[in-house]
């Protein structure tokens, strides 16, 4: 199953990476989710917002993408958990492989601290 997820992520990044990064650059109040098998993945600002709503024990993953200078943080949610989340939050776009939820706006300082903590923690583990 993990290999299937990595294959789905690889396919997603090869087709949609620029769009994903563009969506996240100024994102303040939406969770952009992308289907990767039985999970839905959120990246950077969306990952932060998703973690704030779900309070999952599972840590987000820090990804290094080839030819992209900055780490990307990814957080997953199983599709059964996502169904429950959708009941509580307004869906603004829905497709087979993409879903967008409106949520309360994020605070840039809190997101920046969250991002730095995960990226620095990941860098310290690599060394």
Token pair in block for residue 90: 């307004």
Residue 5: band (very low, low, confident or very high) from pLDDT cuts 50, 70, 90? confident
DSSP element (H, E) containing 59: none
Sign of the torsion angle spanned by Cα atoms 15, 17, 18, 23: positive
- With 80 as the cut, is the pLDDT of residue 42 above it? yes
Burial label for 127, CB within 10 Å (0-12, 13-18, 19+), is exposed
In angstroms, rounded to a whole number, what is the distance separating the alpha carbons of residues 43 and 67?
Answer: 17
> What's the CA gap between 64 and 126, in Å, rounded?
12
Per-residue pLDDT tens for 6-33? 888 899 999 999 999 999 998 999 999 9
């Amino acid at each position: 199953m993990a290999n299937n997820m990595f294959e789905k992520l690889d396919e997603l990044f090869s087709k949609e990476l620029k769009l994903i990064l563009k969506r996240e650059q100024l994102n303040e109040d939406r969770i952009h989710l992308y289907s990767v098998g039985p999970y839905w993945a959120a990246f950077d600002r969306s990952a932060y917002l998703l973690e704030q709503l779900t309070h999952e024990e599972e840590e987000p993953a820090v990804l290094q993408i080839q030819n992209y200078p900055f780490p990307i943080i990814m957080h997953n949610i199983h599709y059964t958990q996502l169904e429950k989340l959708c009941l509580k939050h307004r869906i603004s776009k829905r497709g087979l492989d993409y879903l967008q939820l409106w949520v309360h706006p994020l605070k840039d300082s809190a997101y920046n601290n969250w991002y730095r903590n995960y990226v620095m923690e990941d860098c310290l583990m690599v060394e």
